[in-house]
Structure 1
C-alpha cells in the first residue's frame, strides 16, 4: 500500500454476508482523528478480491470507525494517506524472564491485533522463556515516527538500546518485520520499581507502570555455605514448608485440584505413602502443605516438583533452589 501512498490504519477483516443486503458497514481504525484535517480525504478502505486490490473512498469518519456505503464484502482494511505525521493508539507489551537476573522486553506498537500474530511475538518470547506481564496501555494517542524513551526509577536498571553509553529512543512506526523493543536488565532487583515512557524532547510522560514482585519472589533464592569440616552445603533463606506454601498459593483452583489428583493416584511403588483421600479432598493450599510435610517430611519438596511438572507448572519448578534461581514480577 505504500506504493499507492497509504499506510495501515485498521485491522484486516475478512467479512462475509450470508443472506440479504447491507447498505453500510463501519470498520474500526486506531488513528486519533483530532488533528487530522479533512479526514474524508485522508482515509480509505482496502478492498481485496480475485481480480486484485482496490482502494475505496469512505463516506464518514468517526473517532473509532469509518463508514463504507453500499459495501461489497471481501477482506478489507482501513487505510490512511502517508506523508504526514498522525497520532495512533498504541499497545505496550511486556515480557519478563523467570531467572535470578530480571530482564524485561518492552514493545511499543500500534494497536493492531494482527501484529502479535504476524510477528508471533507471544510465541517467540515464550520460546525464550519469557512470560507476559499484563499492564495498561497508554490512554493518549502517540505520534507516528516520533522517538520515545523508556526510563526507570531503579538506579540498578540498565535500559537498552544505547549508543556510546547513552540511551536512545525507539521510533514508533508500523513494523515491516520484527518490531524493535526496549530491554530492561536488573541484576539484583530488591524492590518494586516503575517504568516511564516519554516522547523525545518532552518531560511529560505518556505512560507509566509499576513492576511489582509477584507471589514467587526472593524468598526462594539459595546460597552456598561451608560447614566446620569445610564441606559445601546448601542453605535456604526460608524453610521448605514456607517455600511450598508460597508456591501452592500460586496455583489456581483447577491446578490445585489436579495436584491433589496426581497425589492421590501415585504408584504405590514410588515409595511415597498415601495420604487419606478424605483429608486431601477437603484440604486447601495450607492444609495440603501441612499434610505433605507431616507425611513425607523433607521428601515433600521432591514430590511437589514432580507433580508441578505433571500439571504443566514448570515455571514453579524453576523456583526451587538447585533448579534455577527465580524471581517473579508482575
Structure 2
C-alpha cells in the first residue's frame, strides 16, 4: 500500500476507536515507548496521534506498532482490519460494518454448536441480561440461539461485539482459526494469525518509593509521609502513583469505607479501591492515579462504570474519571480530600485478590486464612487484628475472582479441620471473616487449595519452615523442661512416669528398648525421672513438646503448680 494510504488507514482506524479505547491506546503507547510522554498525547485527536506515530517510526513500522497495541487492549477486530488495509485486501469502510462478528455472522450461526458457555460469559460480563439469556436458551436449536443473540447485540454496540469475539476466541479457538484461514488468508499469507497471539511485554517505569510511617498517640491509623523530586513515582504501601515536575512532599492516611456504606448503597456504588486522605505539604502534582482492584480484562464496557468518591465539608460527591488503566484510575483534577475509587453496583464484577495467612500462637498448628481484595488499608487492618501472629507470605491468586461467589479451602492432610465450610467473597472493611485451619502436629509440608464450584483458583504449599521456628521453639521447650526438671524429679509419681513412658512409646518418641532401659537401669524413682527427661531433651523439639503436652494432660494440677506454660507454639 502506498505511504499516503498507510497513513490514511492508520488515521481511520484510530478515528473509529471509542473514546475509552483511544485513551487506552495512548496509555499503552506510552508504556511501550517510554520516550513518548502522556503530555505528548494529551488533547491530541486521532490524526495528530497518527502524525506522531509516523514521524516517530516509518509508515510501515507505525502500523506494526499500532496493531500490536490494538491487540494488547483487546481491539483485535480493529487490528485485523488494519492489517488487511495494509495488505490492500480491504476497502476502507466505517468500523461497525467490518467487525469480525458482523463479517462472519453467517458462518458463526452455522458452525457454533455449544452456545450455553458463550451465553454464560456474556451474562457474567454484563453484555446480556437474564431475560435475554432465558429467551435465547428457550430456543430449540443452536442456530436459532446464535441468530437471536446477534439480534440482541445490535443494542449493545461495538463493545459487546468485542467481548463476544474474545469469548469465541477462548471457547472456540479452532472455529475462529478456520474462519480466518478461509476468509482472510485466501490468496496469500498474512500476519493476522500471528498478530492475534502477540502480547506486549509490559514495562513499569514508575519509581517505587517507601513511605515514612508515623503513628501519633490516640490515632487509630498511621500516617504515611513521602517526599520526591521530579519524576514518575509509586508508593509501595498504597499503590498510589503520581507525576510531578518539581519537588513535592505529602502525607496520607487510609480511611474506612464503613461509615460511607449506606450512602454508597443509595448511590448504587461499591468500593473499588482504598479510601485515602491525602494532604499536600509542599509542591504540586501534575498527575495522580488512585489504585483499584477491579479486573478490567476482556470487558471494555466496565470502564465506563468507574467513578471517584470525593469527600469534603459539603458531603460526598461522586466524580467521573478521566482515564482507567488495568490497575489505576486517573484523577481529573489532583485536588485532595478523602478520595477512593468506586465501581457501579448491580452487575457481576471480578476483582484482583490477595490471600493472607497468619499462624497463631496456639499449642497446635492453627492458621487464619483471609481472602480479600488487594486493598492495602484492609491488609493493614488485618495485620493489626493479627498482631503477635506470624504472617506466612505466599503468592496471590493469579486469576481475578468474582465478587459474592462462595469459595472453599481444603488441605491435603486427613487430620486437617477447616471452618467455615465456605466463605463468600465480599468487602468487609473492619471485621473480615477468615478460614481457620487446624492441624494436630503436621510435622511435614502440606498444600492448601482454594476452590470455586468451577475448580481450583489458588494453591500454595505450607512448608515446615513456614510454621516451625525450630530454633526458637526448641529453646522455649528446653527452657520450660529445664526450669521444672528438679521439681519433677522430686514430685513425679511412679504412676505418672509409667503413663508418660507409654504415651511417648505410642508417639514413637521412645522405642521399647529405651523404655525398658529407663525402667531397668535406674533403681530409684528420681533416677528414672532424670533419665527420662534427659533422654527426651536429646531427641529434639518434637520430643520435648510431646512430653510437656502429655504432662499437662496427665497431671494438670502438677503442671499448674509448676507454672508450666500452656499454649506453647507448635
TM-score bucket (shorter structure): 0.5 to 0.7
Cα offset for 1:93? 1.3
SS of 1:73's equivalent?
coil
- Give runs of aligned pairs for residues 141-290 of structure 1, distance below 5 A: 141-161=400-420, 168-199=421-452, 201-213=453-465, 214-216=468-470, 224-225=500-501, 228-230=523-525, 233=529, 235=533, 237-239=536-538
In 2, the alpha carbon distance for the partners of 1:97 and 1:70 equals 45
Indicate if the aligned counterparts of 1:216 and 1:327 stay in contact, CA closer than 8 A: no
Q: Distance in 2 between matches of 1:58 and 1:204?
A: 35
Match 2:383 to one of 102, 119, 122 = 122
Partner of 1:132: 391
CA separation in 2, counterparts of 1:134 and 1:211? Answer: 11
Larger radius of gyration: 2
Whether the aligned pair in 2 keeps the contact of 1:29 and 1:66 (CA below 8 Å) is yes
Q: Please say if residues 31 and 86 of structure 1, whose CA atoms lie closer than 8 Å, have aligned partners that are also in contact.
A: yes
2:263 aligned with 1:4? no
Residue 350 of structure 2: aligned partner: 87
Unaligned runs of 5+ in 2: 1-263, 482-496, 502-517, 542-562
Q: Quick one: distance in 1 between partners of 2:369 and 2:349?
A: 23
- Greater share of strand: 1
Distance in 2, Cα, partners of 1:87 & 1:152? 25
Contact preservation (8 Å) 1:197, 1:208:
no
Preserved contact between residue 402 and residue 425 of structure 2 (Cα < 8 Å):
yes
**3-state SS of 2:455 partner:** coil
SS of the counterpart of 1:31? coil
Equivalence for 1:44: 307
SS in structure 1 of the partner of residue 379 of structure 2: helix
SS, match of residue 11 in structure 1:
coil
Distance 1:208 1:45 in 2: 35
Higher helix share: 2
**C-alpha distance 70-38 of structure 1, shift in aligned 2 (>3 A):** same
- Structure 1 residues 182, 211: CA separation in 2 closer, same or farther (over 3 Å shift)? farther
Offset of residue 183 of structure 1: 0.8
Judging changes above 3 Å, is the alpha-carbon distance between structure 1 residues 215 and 131 closer, same or farther for their aligned structure 2 residues? closer
Contact 1:40 1:59 in 2 (8 A): no
Q: Normalised by the size of structure 2, how large is the TM-score?
A: 0.38
CA contact (8 A) 1:28 1:78 kept: yes
Give the direction of change, closer, same or farther, for the CA distance of 1:20–1:178 in structure 2 (3 Å limit): closer
| Cα pair distance change 1:99/1:21, threshold 3 Å | closer
8 Å CA contact 1:196, 1:207 repeated in 2: yes
- Residue 84 of structure 1 aligns to a residue in which SS? coil
Q: Do the aligned partners of 1:22 and 1:70 also contact (CA within 8 Å) in 2?
A: no
SS of match in other structure, 2:297: helix
In structure 1, the residue matched to 2:490 is: none
Deviations 1:87-107 (A, max 9, x none): 111121111133441111111
Tell me if the contact between 2:273 and 2:341 (Cα under 8 Å) persists in the aligned partners.
Answer: yes
User: What do the CA deviations read for 1:285-309 (whole angstroms, capped 9, x no partner)?
Assistant: xxxxxxxxxxxxxxxxxxxxxxxxx
Size of the aligned set, in residue pairs, is 239
Contact residue 198 and residue 206 of structure 1 kept, 8 A: yes
Give the conservation status (yes or no) of the 8 Å contact 1:97–1:103.
Answer: yes
- Residues 1:28 and 2:281 aligned together: no
Paired residues of 1:39 and 1:61 also in contact (CA < 8 A): no
Q: Where in structure 1 do 4 or more consecutive aligned residues deviate above 6 Å?
A: none
* RMSD of aligned residue pairs (Cα, Å): 3.0
SS in 2 for 1:148: strand
- Aligned-pair distance for 1:74? 1.8
Deviation at 1:59, TM superposition (A): 1.4
CA distance in 2: counterparts of 1:71 and 1:123, whole angstroms: 31
Give the C-alpha shift of residue 78 in structure 1: 0.6
TM norm structure 1 = 0.63
Counterpart of 1:33 in 2: which secondary structure? coil
Q: Deviations over 1:231-263 (max 9, x none)?
A: 5735253439x77xxxxxxxxxxxxxxxxxxxx
